[in-house]
Amino acid sequence: MKQLGVELVDIDEFSCCPAPGVTRSLHSDTWLAVAAHNLVAAQEAKLDIMVVCNGCFGSLEEAAHMLNHDDERRAAVNKVLKAAGSKEYKGKTKVHHFAVVLKDEVGLDAI
């Protein structure tokens, strides 16, 4: 990616996205809190998230949408994050899919 002008940074605190089909179906609040933890890790690093996995993209994008548009759920998740020693979700992190970054930001000619 460096040759294409895209810098990649690993975020140490990041965990599994989590997989929406499994985790969300078992306990949606846990799914949302884990996804929020990852969004906050990127937020604290002042980075957006780029993923190659469609499941990760869907999970993180949906979680961000839910947290940005549902004040009650965001407040509940922020309580869980605080209890776990994490920072508050503020909605500052964007989630991007690798293929879209290649097409829209790098450009097809550069590829």
Domain contains 2 = no
**Residue 106 burial (10 A CB sphere; 0-12, 13-18, 19+):** middle
pLDDT of 90: 96
**Count of domains forming the chain:** 1
Domain contains 66 = yes
pLDDT tens-place values along the chain, 111 residues long: 788 888 889 998 888 887 767 777 677 888 999 999 999 999 999 999 999 999 999 999 999 999 999 999 999 999 999 999 999 999 999 999 999 999 998 898 888
Report the CATH number that the domain containing residue 42 is assigned in CATH: 1.20.1050.140
pLDDT of 41: 96
pLDDT of 99: 95
Domain contains 3 = no
Tokens of 81: 């994050």
Domain contains 4 = no
* pTM passes above 0.95: no
Domain contains 1 = no
Domain contains 111 = no
Per the structure, the complete domain to which residue 65 belongs is given by 17-106
Domain contains 5 = no
Domain contains 92 = yes
